Structure formats: structure tokens, C-alpha cells
Structure 1
Amino acid sequence: MINPVVHFEIPVADMDRAMAFYEAVFGCRLERRRVDGYDMAFFPRAEGQAGASGALACGDVYIPSKTGPILYFDVPDIIPVLARAQAHGGAVLYPRTHVGEEGYVAEIEDSEGNRIALSAPPDEAR
């Protein structure tokens, strides 16, 4: 088994606010759909490429939290992502930190109160 994670869902309380946050912070367009009665917004995914698919999910079973699993988003440079997160209602929970050969990590609180992590390669811009 190379990569057992195939899909994730991030709980949100306000889909419009969450979509605005994630689109601004990560510079991507989310596709909003109704799935099994729940309001969802899907992150872009390229078929045949590495990585899991994922979505924001809103509904009675989706409760935002900082205490559940932590998802890591791969970014080329953490510093501008932290700035965009703060500018759009997020907060820095764990500052950009060098973790050796793996590169850099940081954690933010999104617009909904979830803990989201960032990962960048060791050669990211300083």
C-alpha cells in the first residue's frame, strides 16, 4: 500500500465563509456540490497524480474542531500562506518551523475553527 489516504473532508459551519477562506489562502477554486444531502466544496484534483481528494463539508455530522486529525497541505512557501490565512480570518497556531531534511511546517486555524497544517520543502523561499 503506497498511500492509503484517498479522500478527506474538513467540517465547516459556514460554507460561503469557508470557501472564501480556502480559495484565498491556497489560491485554488473549489467546486460546490450537494452529496448525500450535504453541502460540499471539493478541492481540485488531477487524475493520475499523487495526493488525496478532499472537500469542505457542511451539515449536522460535520463539526469543526482543533482536536481531531491534522491535515497537511503541501505549499511551495509557508510564509505567504500564513499571511493570507491571517488576512482572511485565520490564526497562526504553530509558526513556521524547520524540521530538518523534510523542510518546514506550520499550523493555522481556519475560518471555521479547524487546525490545518502546512508543509513546505527544505528549499522554500526564506
Structure 2
Amino acid sequence: MPFSTKTKDNAMLAIIASVAMLVSACSIYQRKEMVRKANPAMYFEIPVTDMKRAVAFYQQVFGFDFQFEEIHGNQMAFIPFELDGTGISGALAKGEIYQPSLSGTLIYLHAENIDNTLHQVQLAGAKVLFPKTRAGGYSYVAEIEDSERNRIGLMEPLP
């Protein structure tokens, strides 16, 4: 028995609606999957008590150029950030709530060559807390005490 035009139209609309729901569901699933794949860390702040001293240290050791701003009454010196780069960036932060620490959260900064970076750390008068060590099959790591008495990790990816 042949379908009427109205029945054909209804069937076509049902197919289109089903395809649209499937595409939408796939799109939502893809977005959820993309979000799940993102690294959870997005930004960091390194507490400082003397902004001028800290900026001089990080410029000497890492060659950073800073952007300065005051946010919520706190002095911020933003570390360079490349929109098309990988990883995260942050700032040196001075304010009432920022307390340098050797025992707080440990962040790792990229070092092209840890040996050279550790040499610069010592020239800047800071301490090496943990020497260059291979970390599995991924990288070399080390830890330093910066000019403000923060424990800072260094990481050099393996070639």
C-alpha cells in the first residue's frame, strides 16, 4: 500500500528530527570529552614579600619580562603567557594574603637547561634544594628556594 504525501512528509520530519537529536547528542558528548581532556591547572600565583627583589630574581634566572598591575589591592607581576603556547602561566603576587612558603603548593617552571638555570639561581644568591634528577622517562627536575623563600620546581623535558 503506497504512503500518502502527508505520511511521507511526517516520516521525513521524524528522520530529520532523529538525525538532529543524534548530531546534538554527539556534539554534547564531544564537548564533554574535550573538557575532560583539558589539564585542570589554569593559573598560579607565587607569593612575594618584596616585589622589586622577586622581579629581579625571576628576570635574572628565567629572563622573564613582566606586566605589572594592581588587582583587588594586590601588586601583580604577570609572567609572560603565549596564547598559542602550551602550559599555563601566572604571576608574582604581593599582598596581605600572600605568604611565601617552603612547604606549600609546589609549582614547576619550564627550564630549557636545568644545569644553566641552577647556575643562574646560585648567581642570584638563592639555594638549590633538590639537585637535577631524572624523573622517569619524561624529564629532569630540580627544586630551588627563590628570593622570597618559596620552593619552586624546575622541569626540563627529555629530548
TM more than 0.5: yes
Q: Determine which structure has the larger helix proportion and give its number.
A: 2
Match for residue 73 of structure 1 among 106, 109, 122: 109
1:15 corresponds in structure 2 to: 51
Query: Letter of the aligned partner of 2:82 in structure 1?
Result: A
1:82, distance to aligned residue in structure 2 (A): 0.5
Runs of 4+ in structure 1 off by over 2 angstroms are none
Of the two, which has the highest radius of gyration?
Answer: 2
Map 1:17-56; keep pairs closer than 5 Å.
Answer: 17-56=53-92
Structure 2 residue 156 is the aligned partner of structure 1 residue 89: no
SS of 1:18's partner is helix
SS of 2:76's partner is strand
Contact 1:100 1:122 survives alignment (8 Å): no
Unaligned runs of 5+ in 2: 1-35
Match for residue 64 of structure 1 among 94, 100, 118: 100
Q: Deviations over 1:36-76 (max 9, x none)?
A: 11111000001132211200000110000011110001111
Query: Greater relative contact order (Cα 8 A, min sep 6): structure 1 or 2?
Result: 1
Query: Letter of the aligned partner of 1:17 in structure 2?
Result: R
1:100, distance to aligned residue in structure 2 (A): 2.7
1:22, distance to aligned residue in structure 2 (A): 0.5
Count residues with an aligned counterpart: 123
SS of 2:116's partner is helix
> Structure 1 stretch 108-117 or stretch 50-59: which is displaced more?
50-59
Query: Letter of the aligned partner of 2:156 in structure 1?
Result: A
Question: How high is the sequence identity, in percent, across the aligned residues?
Answer: 46
Contact 1:25 1:85 survives alignment (8 Å): yes
